[in-house]
Amino acid sequence: MESILIVDDEEKLAKILERSLRGEGFEARAVFDASAALTALEDAAWDVVLTDLKMPGMDGLDLLARVKARRPETDVVMMTAYASAETAVEAMKRGAYDYLIKPFPVDELTMLLGRIGETRGLRQENARLREEAEERVKLDNIVARSAPMQDVLTQVRKVAKSGATVLLRGESGTGKEVLARAIHHLSARREGPLIRVNCGAIPETLLESELFGHVKGAFTGAVETREGHFKAADGGTIFLDEIAEMPPSLQVKLLRILQEGEYTRVGDSRPRQVDVRVLAATNQNLEEMMTKGTFRQDLYYRLSVVPILIPPLRERPEDIPALIEHFERRFAPKGTPPVLAPEAYDLLLRYPWPGNIRELENAIEHALVMGEGARVEITHLPLALRQWAQGGPPGGATPAISAAQPSAGTLEAMEISAIQEALAKTGGNQTRAARLLGITRRTLGYRMKKYGIASGREDDDELASPLPQDPLSPEND
């Protein structure tokens, strides 16, 4: 049922129109000046405003401008006498749908309202189709043939339309960042910034300043006032990767943002407001961390408004062939589609992929480099896969690096192996190695220091930056 707000300083005429429209099945309300109309528009959304052009105080043109500023989806119809028809035409140029010349029969008004209803229906249908098309573009670029991943994408579609906080959970390399990007690009905040911060890649002493900013003189080296990543994400989305690495002292400040929408810069006493949606991701057991007291329970529940669990690649083998094809297209030289030998293809399908999509991506790139882009044999696949095929653990055994190095077969050992292989493939260039691994250079440096891996060549890289707006692909975490 269409809702019509009638605005006319001639109270008798306004009441007649109100009764007539209600008799025709419309929801109608009459007010007698522009000020009352604006109040009514604040209280409810009206489909159509039917307003007189000449009224004392604020006239119809001024009301038209305010209606379009506050409720752009509301259609406005002007009522006018012959003497002011030219002004009514001017009103249409400014956004009015049409005008009626007084006096007019009610049938003429109802026919016009019928046309407006049809136009509105077409606009809504076009908007729906446009939204669905944009959604398909965003999600079709995520390789998801399996039922578990289709379920995940269904959750992404639903949660994207809300403003809820989302916690993405899954093993490293499962595509958490890709889904965070999809949520942002399908949301009402899509025109705003999307800022990614890896909480595990920033030293604890710097993380507070990176997130919330600082004022000049707040600490040694703070030579100027600097805004943080939350301010940069204002009006958009911030993606906090590896949220489990955030120290408890900063968890309190994050909780304040989630509860009150405000924070305080380092060295400042004045709270600052921020409008930002928080997406977080982790591969850690937060429930166990809460038991140990290293992760706040109240923050956990605030972050877990909508938890999304991303299954590891070994639990969705139906996706592997499509992912192989995707990465072949990405890394193969143009004009020379690679041919995977049956033995190599079979191994790619059977391998359990402890490093998930990122490990598969690296394996395909490695194989195409070693096979020189032509026929890929099993010997061109990474050593870890070939060792597993011969009975070794997934990820392969890793030579000892230090006394503190984890035993072969653990996730840590697999990570060490991947880092060493990436450094070897890039001649020790940390930036290129990090790109192969799908992480930042600083994250790579942090992991190398953690495991005692000898440094390669130093290069600069960004620690946290706006995420790219290009089509989604499944290579990121």
Q: Does the bond joining 342 to the residue before it have cis omega, within 30 degrees of 0? A: no
Contact assessment for residue 41 and residue 70, using Cβ atoms and an 8 Å cutoff: yes
* Consecutive H or E run containing 473: none
Given this model, what pLDDT does residue 85 score? 65
272 beta partners: 263
Nearest-10 Cα torsion for 368, 372, 377, 379: -90
Q: Are 101 and 80 in contact (CB under 8 A)?
A: yes
- Calpha distance 396→12 (Å, rounded): 87
Q: In this predicted model, what pLDDT tens digit does every residue of 58-68 receive, in sequence order?
A: 989 999 999 99
Rounded to the nearest 10°, the torsion over CA 106, 109, 114, 117 is: -130
142-156: average pLDDT = 90
Mean pLDDT of 201-222: 86
Inter-helix orientation angle 430-437/411-425, to 10°: 130
Q: What is the pLDDT of residues 299-356, one digit of tens each?
A: 999 999 999 999 999 999 999 999 999 898 888 877 677 788 999 999 999 999 999 9
Q: Which residues of 199-208 are buried (b: 16+ CB within 10 A; e: fewer)?
A: bbbbeeeebb
pLDDT of residue 466: 43
57-66, 179-188, 377-386, 449-458: which range is least confident on average? 449-458
Q: Amino acid letter at 228?
A: G
Residues sharing a CB contact under 8 Å with residue 233, sequence separation 6 or more, in sequence order = 192, 193, 194, 195, 274, 276
Hey, CA dihedral for 288, 289, 295, 300, is it positive or negative? negative
User: What is the DSSP code (8-state) at residue 457?
Assistant: B
* Model pLDDT, residue 291: 94
Q: What is the largest CA-CA distance in the chain?
A: 95
CATH of domain 314-462: 1.10.8.60
Q: How far apart are CA 358 and CA 474, in angstroms?
A: 8
Can you give the pTM of this predicted structure? 0.58
- Summarised one tens digit per residue, pLDDT across range 271-298 is 889 999 999 999 999 999 999 999 999 9
d(CA 26, CA 28): 6
Please name the residues in contact with 432: beta carbons below 8 A apart, sequence gap of 6 or more.
Answer: 426, 459
Does 145-311 match 314-462 in CATH topology?
no
Task: Specify the CATH class of 3-124 in words.
Answer: alpha beta
**The pLDDT value given to residue 332:** 83
pLDDT in tens, 10-69: 999 999 999 999 999 999 999 999 999 999 998 888 999 999 998 998 989 999 999 998
Do residues 283 and 167 make contact, with C-beta atoms less than 8 angstroms apart?
no
Read off the pLDDT of residues 83-96 as tens digits, 9 standing for 90 and up.
566 777 788 888 99
For residue 294, give both structure tokens. Answer: 């290293």
Does the pLDDT of residue 411 top 60, yes or no? no
Task: Specify the CATH number of the domain 145-311.
Answer: 3.40.50.300
Domain locations along the chain: 3-124, 145-311, 314-462
CB 260 within 8 A of CB 300: no
Which of 473, 419, 462 has the alpha carbon at shortest distance from 140? 473
Question: How far apart (Å, rounded) are the C-alpha atoms in residues 370 and 385?
Answer: 14
**SS3 assignment, position 203:** coil
DSSP 8-state assignment for residue 429: B
Decide if pLDDT at 441 tops 50: yes
**Minimum mean pLDDT range among 97-111, 207-221, 246-260, 316-330:** 207-221
